[in-house]
Structure 1
Amino acid sequence: MTRLEHVNVTVPDATATAAILCDLLNWKIRWEGAALNDGWTVHVGTGDSYLALYTPKEAPSKGAPRHISTAALNHIGIVVDDLEAIEKKVRAAGYTPHSHADYEPGRRFYFEGPDGVEYEMVCYD
């Protein structure tokens, strides 16, 4: 058996992004500390999987649009138990859900996070 343990993403403020994800998804900070080239990393998630949020010492630059750049991150998909409850939390936090869809194998919506990363919330009823 194999499974995905983590994804490492560069964001402008790892601490701020981690706080938002903890609030929206009831995740926990698993670890945080100094990282590559005097940067800062926060691992946020559950007991068996997480996002490694990395902020370099120098402000990260914006690259080409994510959908047309090789090796770019298009979005991060997160499975949730209650899609409606998560959407309410996302809206209350000031983000705008979009691209709602209901197709096999689940229902979903997307939102642009504070870090320029698009997040997909999906529920497999």
Structure 2
Amino acid sequence: MPAILEHSNFTVSDPDATAAWMCEIFGWHVRWSGAAISGGYTVHVGSDDSYLALYRPADPADAKGSSYTTVGGLNHIALIVDDLDASEQAVKDAGFTPMNHGDYEPGRRFYFHDNDRIEFELVQYEAA
């Protein structure tokens, strides 16, 4: 049986604010929030089956360099959406700028960066 991704955990500056825009754009909900490792704070946001853990350490450090040139860097998070055009409008409404639009097999896509410079890819697969 293949593995199924249950969650991913990454560091953000404001877990509550990040969770709020994710709920708005992606239709997710907050599953849990509370104290985390080393005096930090975490919000779990997603669906009933999977989620993103948004962690803020007690004493955050500024990011340095590009994730694409840093070993162990998070390059982007890709999400499948049913309606790419509606999702793009939601991204714009949230104050983010869509970029790098592509239309190639197996579907259309675009990218955007959030306030923490985390890159997201939204893709809509073509119907078979």
TM range (shorter): over 0.9
Alignment length (residue pairs): 125
Q: Could you say which residue in structure 1 is the equivalent of 2:113?
A: 112
Across the aligned residues of Structure 1 and Structure 2, the Cα RMSD in angstroms comes to 0.9
Partner SS for 2:64: coil
Q: Which runs of 5+ in 2 are unaligned?
A: none
TM-score by length of 1: 0.96
Distance 2:26 2:87 in 1: 8
Quote how far apart the aligned CAs of 1:12 are.
0.7
Distance 1:38 1:60 in 2: 14
Q: Could you say which residue in structure 2 is the equivalent of 1:68?
A: 69
Identical pairs, percent: 51
Distance 1:76 1:60 in 2: 21
1:15-65 C-alpha deviation (Å, 9 max, x unpaired): 110111001111000111100111000010011111110000112321321
Partner SS for 2:74: coil
TM-score by length of 2: 0.94
Moved over 4 A (4+): none
Quote how far apart the aligned CAs of 1:68 are.
0.2
Q: Which runs of 5+ in 1 are unaligned?
A: none
Question: Residue 29 of structure 1 contacts residue 43 of structure 1 at CA under 8 Å; is this kept in 2?
Answer: yes
Question: What is the one-letter code of the residue matched to 1:118?
Answer: E
